[in-house]
Chain A
Amino acid sequence: MKNYRFILICVLLLIAQVFLDNYFPLRRYVLISILPAIILLISLETRSIVSMFLAFAVGFAVDFFSTGMLGISSLALVPVGLVRGAVVGLVFGDELSARGDELSIQRLGVPKMALASLLLCALYFAIYVWVDSAGTVSFWPAALRFVLSVAVSTPVCLFAARLLRP
């Protein structure tokens, strides 16, 4: 039952992400993404290999339904799937996965969840902004876009995390 709820909210969040990608007017200056939160909150029992495949599929689905470039979200999200386990271990400690618990904002607290979201958002947007610029944007404007995107997306990811695993 819990899983069905998780999958349903995931699908709704992906639809919201497609809408954001298609209709958010300030995409040239700031990007908003909830995809790092979806990858962070999939079950802790999931191995890195499966996380990476899920990340690829989620990125592909969002790109396919957006007007964006096919492959760019997958390219940025697969590394998030790879380092997800390490970030969880680093921020929440190894006991969490050893106990078989799931991530939850109420149990683990907002600061730790915010830190994990921040790290994954930073990785995601570092790759996304770099590839999206394709060598046509100079360093400082790209860096500003990266900082703004991480600053805006981290709270959005926290909100998505609250919906996915309250």
Chain B
Amino acid sequence: MARAGKFWSGFITAVIFIGLEIAAISLLERSSTLQNIWINRASHNVMAATWGSLNKVRGYFDLRAQNEILAGRNYELFKELQQYKELEQMARVRARLDSAQALPSRFKYIPAEVTAMGTNSRHNYIILDKGTEDGVKPQSAIITPNGVVGMIYSVDKRYSYGLSLLNEKVSVSARIGREGLVAPLVWDGSGSDRAILKDIPLHLTVEVGDTVRTSGISAVYPPDIPIGVTLGSRLIDGSVNVVDVKLFVDFSSLRYVIIAENPDRQIIEKMEE
């Protein structure tokens, strides 16, 4: 009881103190031009700082919604870009074959959000929030505009389980440059931002800094998706070279991905058999 009385007494004292100081400031503001300008400037600074802080707080709480909008826009742009890339490739093929026949768009794209992901073992996985209800099928590619993330392994109604590129079981057919050497890219477990291109013949030289992309010689991955950049080559067992690749995808901050599904995959695989 005494404590509550003390609190209210302190509170009333503080309120009266602030009231008297405000009264004195308003008297001063009216009686002196110099002080008037100074007080106005100070109050504007305080207002600006207050509004700035409020905007920062509001912006922080809006971040998730903004992220989702940006991810959606990113997906739309990526789809558009892929269409242009395919058109460009078709034009190249058409020019080579001198054929006017149009090629159909091979891949279907589904945006997804990463629900869970492992990066600490040698067999890392990724779980996405899209499943069979959204049209996801096993053996589809998981990509981002920055590069390859992995491959869908199994699919549930609402979720899908994939093998990340940071998994020794995953191999991606890659090409150095747009028209260069094709080789399998695998993860050797040396770091979450590194992979290797293996089985490079000794007589072929690889320039440092070349971009590595998906080759397109695969029923799973769309062509020309950037994967990383070459760091240099080294000799293995005296018979073949391996090329170290720095990956573009930052697996530690990955959140939004795109699932690329090739509707003709089964037909192609049947023909391969």
A75 and B25 within 8 A (CB): yes
A78's closest neighbor in chain B, by CB? B20
Contact between B17 and A78 (Cβ–Cβ < 8 Å)?
Answer: yes
**B38: A residues at CB distance < 8 A:** 134-136
Given A134-B34, A134-B38, verify A71-B20 contact (CB < 8 Å). Answer: no
> Smallest CB–CB gap between B22 and chain A, Å?
10
> In chain B between 24 and 45, which residues have their CB closer than 8 angstroms to a CB of chain A?
24-32, 34-35, 37-38, 41
B17 contacts A70, C-beta separation under 8 Å: no
Query: Can you list, as one digit per residue, whether each of B2-24 has a CB less than 8 Å from chain A (1) or not (0)?
Result: 00000000001100110011011
- Collect the chain B residues with CB atoms within 8 Å of residue A131's CB: 28, 35
Tell me the chain A residues, 27-48 only, with Cβ under 8 Å from chain B.
Answer: 48
Q: A56-B24, A71-B26, A78-B17 are in contact. Are A49 and B12 (CB under 8 A)?
A: yes
Contacts of B20 in A (CB 8 A): 52-53, 56, 74, 78
Q: Tell whether A82 pairs with B13 under 8 Å between CB atoms, given A59-B24, A69-B28.
A: yes
State the CA gap A74–B20 with chains docked (Å).
Answer: 8
**How many cross-chain pairs have Cβ atoms below 8 Å apart between A and B?**
64
Tier of interface size on chain A: 20 to 34
Quick check: is A61 within 8 A (CB to CB) of the other chain? no
B interface size (C-beta, 8 A): 21
Interface SS majority for chain A: helix
Q: Residue A72 at the B interface, CB < 8 A?
A: yes
Which A residues lie within 8 Å of B37 (CB)? 134
Residues of B with C-beta under 8 A to A69: 28, 31-32, 35
The 8 A-B residue pairs with the shortest CB-CB distance, nearest first, are A71-B27, A71-B28, A134-B38, A75-B24, A70-B31, A74-B24, A69-B32, A71-B24
Q: Given A52-B16, A71-B25, 18 other A-B contacts at CB below 8 A?
A: A49-B12, A56-B20, A56-B24, A69-B35, A70-B27, A70-B30, A71-B23, A71-B31, A72-B24, A72-B28, A74-B24, A75-B25, A78-B21, A78-B24, A79-B17, A82-B17, A134-B37, A136-B34
User: Residues of A with Cβ closer than 8 Å to B?
Assistant: 48-49, 52-53, 56, 59-60, 63, 69-72, 74-75, 78-79, 82, 131, 134-136
Q: Which residues of B contact A (CB under 8 A)?
A: 12-13, 16-17, 20-21, 23-32, 34-35, 37-38, 41
Can you list 25 A-B pairs with a CB-CB distance of less than 8 A? A48-B13, A49-B13, A52-B13, A52-B17, A52-B20, A53-B16, A56-B24, A69-B28, A69-B31, A69-B35, A70-B28, A70-B30, A71-B24, A72-B24, A74-B23, A74-B27, A75-B24, A75-B25, A75-B28, A78-B20, A78-B21, A78-B24, A79-B21, A135-B41, A136-B38
